[in-house]
Amino acid sequence: LLPDEEFDLLKEDLQWNGSELIEMNRKEAQYLAAMEAYLKGTPTLSDEEFDSLKRELKESNSKFAVSRQPKCLIDTGICTVTLQEDQFRSNLLYLPALTILVSVWLGPVFEIVANFVIRLNPLFFLLVAAYPIYIACIAITDQFIFTNKKIAFGPCPSCEFENRVYFGNVLGVEGFDQQADVKCRNCKTQFSVQRDSLRASTLPKDE
């Protein structure tokens, strides 16, 4: 480890070079101190306190609490990495319901209104129903099609091949809830992913 004087010089040099990691708040400093104490065999926080602190930092997108690169422990052989939530693909799950609702509105409903009430421009007719369709799309998707959904993606803890994990149910068929036990599509290594923290970890070598 560096002496205090050399550490202070290194910190000052990093600050001048615009390093983002050198600036930390109180909770980030507490997290690093807890990590150091744990590695020395003298933990300062209980497992519950540490997990709670890490969850708070992760929710605030702190770079200290989120490891995007796999790390392996030599003594246990367990490899870990933190995945990311796939917002893009989560939003795509609304597309089936949206397509059906728009088709119904511009099809049978539009024809009925045009023939028996008043003939309107289809674009204007769609704009009138945009917000109700939006609300209905969310309700149908979240409550009936893809319930309790969450999609995560990231590297395999073992080989770094990108994998995706879906939490939730599909049309009433139960899927992964709080923990997903999956197998890498590339190296076939089994690993588990926690829904709340998106922390992925392989099994110990002896399992």
Is the pLDDT at 8 greater than 70? The verdict is no
Q: Which residue has the higher pLDDT, 6 or 100?
A: 100
pLDDT-derived band at 1 (thresholds 50, 70, 90) equals very low
- Cα-flanking dihedrals φ and ψ of residue 94, to 5°? -80, -10
CA distance 156 to 186: 9
CA distance 56 to 50: 10
Q: State both tokens at 84.
A: 């990311």
Percent of the chain residues topping a pLDDT of 70: 78
The mean pLDDT value of the chain amounts to 81
CA distance 24 to 15: 12
> Closest Cα partner for 191 from 153, 154, 158?
158
Residue 67: its pLDDT value, please? 67
Range of 73-87, 120-134, 167-181, 192-206 with top mean pLDDT: 167-181
pLDDT-derived band at 169 (thresholds 50, 70, 90) equals very high
**Model pTM above 0.85:** no
Per-residue pLDDT tens over the stretch 97-111: 999 998 888 777 667
- Residue 194: how many CB atoms within 10 A of its CB? 17
